Amino acid sequence: MSFNWHSDQLTRNTTICKNYRNTQNVRRFMVEHCGADFKFDRGFMAWIRNGVPKTLGEAVDEWQQRNRDTH
């Protein structure tokens, strides 16, 4: 059974797999960990989908690093 990005529980250890989807569940997780200013942009989405295995925790860290100078 594959991961359900709409309803399964998300943690920093959740692996971003090939069936990854930008769902409201993911957006809620990212806002919770990155703050109210979180948003997906093209560069960040390209990084998420670049084929390199990563976790949601690594995605949080990457977004924070990319946006640390603007917030």
**Domain positions in the chain:** 15-67
Model pLDDT, residue 2: 82
* pLDDT score, position 71: 53
pLDDT tens digits, 15-65: 998 889 999 999 999 999 999 999 999 999 999 999 999 999 999 999 999
Q: In the predicted model, is pLDDT for residue 1 greater than 90?
A: no
**What pLDDT sits at residue 70?**
61
Whether residue 48 contacts residue 54, with contact meaning beta carbons closer than 8 Å, is answered with: yes
